[in-house]
Amino acid sequence: MKSTARTVGFKPGERNIFFHILTACNLACRHCYINREQHGIQQLSKEQLEQWMALFADPEKTSNMIFLGGEPTLHPDLPFAIRRAKELGFCVTVDSNGYLFNAILQRTSPRFLDFLSFSLDGPDPATNDPIRGEGVFDTCVANIERAVKLGYNVSLIYTVSRKNLEALPQMVPLLEHLQVKKFFIQVLGLRGKSARADDQEIAQVSRQQWLDTVPAVASMAAQKGIHVTYPKVFLASDEKFECAGLAAENFFIFPNGRVYRCPLCEDHPINAYTIEDNRLVKNKGLAEDSFFSLNVAEGCVMNKLLQPDTIEYDEKGTPLYRISCCLLKQEIG
């Protein structure tokens, strides 16, 4: 039976907090979006972890806490943060590159961690390691197997670029073998290294390449019982554009105290909020949220402003398609 993707609209009362607890990492992935000039080089203290999480706790709403880095397992207090986040009522995920430092599997538990998410960008070392680093594939796969044996719910993130698009279908048998429960297919963001590097291999795929490959692979994985999520990216002519900055609550926290509402803006000092003296402060003046309500023919106004080369036009200057909010997802399974 064919599986059909459904667009998951923004749900009132649902919140996602993407908490970068440090920017240090043991890898140097070719498409890393961390920009230390903009995001800081700090590692938050145990006290800051607890205080900053409390700023976003809301017992009246469903809130997801996603711990990221850099590599979050490099932080020795991550097990404490996981447990405290669960006590505050969050659904908790850790996004790791697969190295799992500081004995994280032994120092926390599936009781506190809802999902442990790994990143792979290929179904084998030949595809993955030129992007993420030598030996990364084998290390990541071995640690996925360890996590599954210990009872953790495991998800996997695959960032699609020109370098690895053709290998995407080969991920399905690997996911099934590893007993991965959720598969996230990501579009390559033009942030960090991807925004600065002149690297044609690590570049965004075309609209047609995305549409020809990603939905089909998502359907293949869903047939194996894997829940698949991927960004909508392109809107059909009859689909309504909606901005998560207006319709949802998403916060992207960095260790220098910047808090963004839109991930496209993270290379720029236009964050909507700042954490100062353990208070969430709304920034004055021209910030990212000043633009969210603008209605443009291209769809996402921030994409139009910050990534205009991703849009194609006809001879009259009319966009050939609209870009959806990058946080609008499709799901199968």
Tell me the pLDDT of the chain averaged across its residues. Answer: 92
- Residue 26 counted as domain residue: yes
Residue 189, pLDDT above cutoff 80: no
pLDDT for 11-27, tens place per residue? Answer: 777 799 999 999 999 99
Higher pLDDT, 127 or 30: 127
Asked if residue 13 is part of any domain, the answer here is yes
Question: What's the pTM value of the predicted model, to 2 decimals?
Answer: 0.94
Q: What pLDDT, in 10s, does the model give residues 245-258?
A: 999 999 999 999 99
Sign for the CA dihedral angle at 111, 113, 115, 117 comes to negative
**pLDDT score of 194:** 57
Q: Is residue 79 part of a domain?
A: yes
What's 178's domain CATH number?
Answer: 3.20.20.70
Does residue 203 form part of some domain?
A: yes
The answer to whether residue 102 is domain-embedded is: yes
Helices (H), 150-300: 171-178, 193-196, 207-223, 244-247
Q: Identify whether 263 is part of a domain.
A: no
Lowest-pLDDT choice from 128-142, 261-275, 302-316: 302-316
**259 occurs within a structural domain:** no
Reported in sequence order, the residue ranges of 101-237 that DSSP labels E, i.e. its strands, are: 115-119, 154-160, 182-187, 227-231, 234-235
Worst-scoring range by mean pLDDT, 82-86, 228-232, 310-314?
310-314
User: In the prediction, which pLDDT does 265 show?
Assistant: 94
pLDDT over threshold 90, residue 156? yes
Residue recorded with tokens 């979006």: 33
For residue 247, is it within any domain? no
Region 125-135 average pLDDT: 97
Highest mean pLDDT among 4-8, 31-35, 151-155: 151-155
Residue type, 55: L
Inform me whether the pLDDT recorded for 186 exceeds 80.
yes
pLDDT (average), residues 182-206: 73
Answer yes or no: are the C-beta atoms of 321 and 234 closer than 8 Å. Answer: yes
Q: Is 319 in contact with 312 (CB distance < 8 Å)?
A: yes
The residue range of the domain holding 87 is: 6-239+327-332
Strands 154-160 and 227-231: unpaired
For residue 28, what pLDDT is reported?
92
Per-residue pLDDT, 59:
86
The pLDDT value given to residue 197: 56
231: three-class secondary structure by DSSP: strand
Cβ atoms of 131 and 202 within 8 Å: the answer is yes
Structural domain total, the chain: 1
For range 111-136, the mean pLDDT: 97
Provide the pLDDT for residue 198: 61
What percentage of the chain has pLDDT greater than the value 70? Answer: 95
> 309 vs 68, which has greater pLDDT?
68
Confidence (pLDDT) at 6: 82
3-class DSSP state for residue 228? strand
**Contact predicate 267/35, CB 8 Å:** yes
Say what percent of the chain tops pLDDT 90. 81
**For position 83, what pLDDT does the model report?**
98
pLDDT at 8: 76
pLDDT at 273 exceeding the cut of 60: yes
Give the pLDDT score at 196.
60
pLDDT the model gives residue 150: 98
Residue with the two structure tokens 């960090």: 192
